[in-house]
Chain A
Amino acid sequence: MTTAQLGDIREDGSATATRRKLVVIGNGMAGARTVEEILARGGGELFDITVFGDEPYGNYNRILLSGVLSGQSDATDIFINPLDWYADNDIELRAGARVNHVDREAHLVHADDGSCAPYDKLIVATGSRPFVPPIDGVMNGHGPRPGIFVFRTIDDCSAIAHYAQSCSRAAVIGGGLLGLEAARGLLSHGVEVHVVEAGPHLMGQQLDAQGGRILARTLREMGIGVHCGAATTAITGDDHVTGLTFKDGTHLACDMVVVAAGIRPNAELAAACGLDVERAVVVDDQMRTQDPDVYAVGECAQHRNMVYGLVAPLWEQAEVLADHITGTDLSAAYEGSKLATKLKVMGVELAVMGIKEPEHDDDEVLQFSEPQRGVYKTVILRDGRLVGATLLGDVSKVSYLTQLFDKGTPLPEDRLELMFDLGAPVAAVPVGALPDDTQICNCNGVSKGDIARCASGGALSVGAVMKATRAGTGCGSCKAQVEEIVTWAAGGDLVEDPSAHYYVPGVPFPKAELVEQIRRLDLRSASEVFDALAGGRDDPASKMGLTSLLRTIWGPDELGDERDARYINDRVHANIQRDGTFSVVPGISGGVTSADQLRRIADVADKYAVPMIKITGGQRIDLLGITKEDLPRVWKDLGMRSGHAYGKSFRTVKSCVGTDFCRFGVGDAISLGVEMEDRFKGLEAPAKLKLAVAGCPRNCSEAMVKDVGAVAVEGGRWEIYVGGAAGAHVRKGDVLCTVDSHEEVLQITGRFMQYYREHARWLERTYAFVPRIGLDELRAIVVDDRDGIAARLDAEMQRTIDEYVEPWQTEAAAPVTANQFAAPIAMSV
């Protein structure tokens, strides 16, 4: 079929009369991807396309649902094609309409909303539904009882997330990929999570027993309960779920259940209209059913006796189907997928290809297991070829093994090279040598070839390629590889995103040069910097960083303060929340408070009906849900200083009770913590600074994982740690030096922080800054004064401290701008 049969031309220039009608049943990943592939082959000219989907949305990436459940992504983040896309491509989407009958004689599909649609060609992409095993007490009439959920759709995610708020313990039935994804999503809702698997070990489809045990161990270390060999026979409870009963009579208490025990193809519709259905809809190598006008694709299709539940085969099927239906390549044939897959389960990387256990007597098995690190690798060889491999926890060899597996290339002499990089530096497979069809991004189904073509086609930066192909925009685990391929494909033409080295994206200078320019040209405001150094382009994303830098260089007194160049938090000295209200955290130095302070905080909470009072991780008290207009009154009533819990600045010093009360304390952590916070409070910096002081190496206040920490050791000495972190990134700090007194702690930590303020990139936390500069270098500069700048750093820090102005009481008394704290201004009409 070619475009030769185009007929009339419509007003908008497109052909119409002889366009045939294509109906797609199913708007999931298979249906939508197939339509994309058809459009890419000019199918928009050949067909009037109608898509039925029983969910009321555009189509989305189901693989990323656990991110939605965990709250890491917004539901809108996982849409592949929003509703607009259908309109833009002249596709009629009937979202929310479920097809309940296909009349193949009349070439007509009927939906449950009473509508129908005629077709010339029909694609069945009905996908799967969750499999709910026969367990007592699951169903009531139409579906699962309250408190019992399946995990398949966006609506399931919102229902689970909502219900979890009132629960303390959740059980997930099913220890396969889907169950573990659900467990990961649940973890962030503050419930205790238990995974219940009827089989002998986790991920039975992908892992052998030993691999499953090592994964279970890793999950337990994350705080997840793992129960294998536990066949659930009943869910107990009347109005609400109280627990699970297992076959052996034991019981697990829980107050909600997610059933993730696998999927079953939705093949009933196809069966009812007489199509061949075994486990799923039977198709040939062109993805056609026995009816030449009806195709099937995705999880509802059975090809050469295989039904696939992973995404990679689906991409391949969609391409062949599109080649065939559009006539682009009538000889295109799908010959089944070699199952090689890379997954990330609860942050643990897993790559699996081929068989998971030896099948023949003379299959050779190489095995490496290191349970402590959660690493497990097996490689199965037959006749000198790789026929199977499992990599858990360390997938560094995956590209190399995939190549051996896909191409059947001869194995290296030294078989250990299959598992480890021996000697250095060794060959990860150079990306140039990877076959073009190697899938790089598993979330979005993007191959090496796609990425390379995009890069050589003119998208010459990594960011541009990621945007155009979607590679690396899912879970992100393939980003490094995407970068490598783009670099390789662009050859010498790669435009390194030059802004990667700028202090802020909109002013083309690295920090040191920017500071020099600002001083040389005597620039005192963000506007002056944009005018002088950025051609007048006032990039809004650069303003906050510039304001911080200008304040560090000039100090607040000599600055042309432009409030509009500040982020809202710094305009109103509070942290904006998701509903536009603010959080108020009074300064409580060292975490030491008093009855009087607590009473005032309680009075304020009553007076302003504060919806949430929260003890923070930094040993302070957070009043959440304060409106902007109440901020000055709240501050006045508190009569306390700002805790600066909103800015890129020095936040807090956690302390332990040290020698005052603790029987183990060897240093006075409380006094030192209070002194440090009083001295450095509100100090502005390129990123926030969280500190702690520990009175002994038991490290109760976690000083070893803070940006700056002091830990008392025997003999009245203090170890100073820098560059620690325990947030999204976890890093133990490095010992910068050991000193003898509180005064020295204050001096050295102050000098370090001043050096950091002057040299760190905008938003570069100390955990990145310290390794970038190098500990030895920092020690030489900050402790040994190799460069002779210690006195200047100390003086700069002292000047900054002397210039500190407490913002709450100052601006509560005298607002700085018009309507600084105003509610929306109501105009009477």
Chain B
Amino acid sequence: MSSTESLVERSLGPIGQIPLGEGRAFHVADHHIAVFRLREGGLAATQADCPHRGGPLADGIVGQNSVVCPLHAQRFALATGLAEVGDCDISVYPCRIDAKGDIVVTIPA
């Protein structure tokens, strides 16, 4: 995301859709996003598909603030999107829980 793009907040519905410690995939506008509900609290959102071979990141195991792709164990930092194992980084999106308990993600408009 470059800073010149305009951003918009989208609600993805109640937090209860995601079990603690796991991720789920969402389609919102034209974006495919994986949202993770972290055991240490809070949420993280990334692009849904692994840049290596398109693996579903929402199905990955999360730990130490990173997610491991279930296909070939490429590993990405959830906060920055930087690759910890593998060559390609991923996009990450600001994500929070609002007062109603809904997931809110910030994506390019």
Contacts and interface: CB of A to CB of B under 8 A. Distances in A.
Nearest to A530: B63
B61 interface: yes
Contact of A563 (B10, B19, B26): B19
Contact of A825 (B25, B52, B62, B64): B25
Given A540-B68, A540-B75, A576 B59 contact: yes
Nearest to A79: B87
Nearest to B39: A527
Interface string A530-542: 0000000111111
B24 A825 contact: yes
B16 A827 contact: no
Nearest to B70: A568
Contacts of A541: 63, 68, 73
B64 A539 contact: yes
A564 B20 contact: yes
Interface in A689-727: none
A827 B13 contact: yes
Contacts of A565: 21, 61
A562 B20 CA distance: 9
A74 to B, nearest CB: 7
A829 interface: yes
Interface string A72-111: 0010100000100000000000000000000000000000
Q: Which of A580, A820, A823 has the most CB of B within 10 A?
A: A580
Contact of B62 (A540, A820, A824, A826): A540
Contacts of A543: 61, 63
Nearest to A547: B61
* Main secondary structure on B side of the interface with A: mixed
A360 to B, nearest CB: 53
B11 to A, nearest CB: 8
A165 interface: no
A156 B46 CA distance: 35
Contacts of B75: 540
A578 interface: yes
A434 to B, nearest CB: 33
A546 to B, nearest CB: 11
A192 B62 CA distance: 43
Interface string A787-829: 0000000000000000000000000000001111011111101
A818 B18 contact: yes
A631 to B, nearest CB: 13
A683 to B, nearest CB: 23
Q: Which of A82, A571, A823, A827 has the most CB of B within 10 A?
A: A827
Nearest to B31: A827
B27 A827 contact: yes
Contact of A826 (B10, B27, B70, B87): B27
A313 to B, nearest CB: 30
Interface in B41-93: 48, 52-56, 58-64, 66-68, 70-71, 73, 75, 87
B7 interface: no
Interface of A: 74, 76, 82, 527, 537-544, 562-568, 571, 576, 578-580, 817-820, 822-827, 829
26 contacts: A527-B39, A538-B64, A539-B63, A541-B63, A544-B61, A563-B19, A563-B22, A564-B62, A566-B61, A568-B70, A571-B22, A576-B56, A580-B59, A817-B19, A818-B18, A819-B17, A822-B24, A824-B58, A825-B13, A825-B24, A825-B27, A826-B26, A827-B13, A827-B26, A827-B28, A829-B28
